[in-house]
Amino acid sequence: MPVHLPPLSRRRFICGIGSSLLLPATVPAADAGTDESLLAILNDAHIGQRQPADSQNPSHLRETVKWLLALEKRPALVVINGDLALLDGQPGDYAAFMELIRPLREAGLPVHLTLGNHDDREVFFETVRRADPAAPLDASRHVGVVETKFADLFLLDSLKTVNKAPGELGAQQIAWLAKELDARATKPVIIVAHHNPRLGGNPLHFPGGLEDSDALWQTLVPRRRVKAYVHGHIHHWSLAVHQDIHIINTPAVSYVANPKLSTTGWTMARLGERGIELTLHTHAPDHEWNRLVTKLEWRS
């Protein structure tokens, strides 16, 4: 359930997708202060109107937003990939979240949102609509496409049940995906959804992942312009490959389950004609992941 929020300084909705209608969102033409090959990927913000006393979630998101705005060359867009709300998608959670990302939109950065298992889509849409009546929202819409110079991003909706870990795309969404992939055969494709697939990667994470992973992969593998699947949900950083498709697990902005294994941060992705360069940035400046660079080549 992606939501495309236009920059507040340029009230322009660039497009969205309904379950049967393709209306691609195209990144606005780059200006001198924008790097059109660069994307910012955030996930698992977990913002609440009433945060636990020891929570750093709002300060982490605030720090990330500040860092993005300080860049000499800003990214062409920001994707925040699910779990926007703290636990179960309360109205105050989304109001607080929208206020924290407001500086991005005021600075002219397009922001694209998906929802995760700690979100409630109906509450989210209603809250955003009240806060920003110009935001183009339709609760019946399921998926989205964002066109960039080097790749098309397909943003999918993996939310199955609020505050329950497993996710699901469903047969209708997978059928739509197959149809639109076949209709748009020009650039590499990166799939973006909140939940991890139940294949590739660490099997310990599979129970809370995408229940229809096999059906999804059966759709993606024959369509060779699909190069990667980007997800959050795990609150960790890892890379895997399954049937030549890269699986990119990006770190959470908010918190981690085991600080000895993981840390919080965000990902900068630089797209090229033949692959992607991922640079991690962590809130702990001395962490081994901070400024870690990984280059991945697309399958041919």
Q: Has residue 193 got a pLDDT over 80?
A: yes
Q: Has residue 14 got a pLDDT over 90?
A: no
Mean pLDDT score, 206-222: 98
Mean pLDDT of the chain: 89
Predicted local distance difference test score (pLDDT) of residue 126: 84
Predicted local distance difference test score (pLDDT) of residue 282: 98
- Pairing between strand 74-81 and 34-42? parallel
Q: Lowest mean pLDDT: which of 2-16, 147-161, 167-181? A: 2-16
Predicted local distance difference test score (pLDDT) of residue 185: 78
Question: pTM for this structure?
Answer: 0.91
Structural domains in the chain, sorted by start: 3-297 (3.60.21.10)
Predicted local distance difference test score (pLDDT) of residue 299: 97
Q: Lowest mean pLDDT: which of 18-27, 100-109, 165-174, 272-281? A: 18-27
In contact, 148 and 76? CB cutoff 8 Å: yes
In contact, 166 and 158? CB cutoff 8 Å: no
Predicted local distance difference test score (pLDDT) of residue 23: 40
Mean pLDDT score, 197-205: 96
Q: Has residue 257 got a pLDDT over 80?
A: yes
What are the tokens at 135? 């935001």
Between 184 and 164, the higher pLDDT residue: 164
Q: Has residue 19 got a pLDDT over 50?
A: no
One-letter amino acid at 137 equals L
E strands in the chain:
3-5, 25-26, 34-42, 74-81, 111-114, 144-147, 152-155, 189-192, 226-231, 238-242, 245-249, 265-271, 275-282, 293-297
Which of 175, 198, 181 minimizes the C-alpha distance to 249?
198
Integer Cα distance of 295 and 265 in angstroms: 18
Backbone torsions φ then ψ of 220, nearest 5 degrees: -80, -40
Predicted local distance difference test score (pLDDT) of residue 103: 96
pLDDT digits (tens, 9 = 90+) for 93-121: 999 999 999 999 999 999 999 999 999 98
Which of 226, 230, 206 minimizes the C-alpha distance to 218?
226
What are the tokens at 133? 């009546």
Mean pLDDT score, 71-95: 96
Q: How many CB atoms lie within 10 A of CB 194?
A: 28
User: Residue 32 — very low, low, confident or very high, per pLDDT cuts 50/70/90?
Assistant: confident
In contact, 208 and 166? CB cutoff 8 Å: yes
Residues in Cβ contact with 114 at an 8 Å cutoff, skipping those fewer than 6 apart: 1, 2, 3, 79, 80, 81, 82, 155, 156, 157, 158, 192, 193, 194
Integer Cα distance of 1 and 17 in angstroms: 10
pLDDT digits (tens, 9 = 90+) for 123-149: 988 887 776 666 655 554 457 899 999
Q: Is 114 helix (H, G, I), strand (E, B) or coil?
A: strand
In contact, 54 and 87? CB cutoff 8 Å: no
| Ranges 10-19, 143-152, 249-258, most confident | 249-258
Q: Has residue 70 got a pLDDT over 80?
A: yes
**DSSP symbol at 252:** P
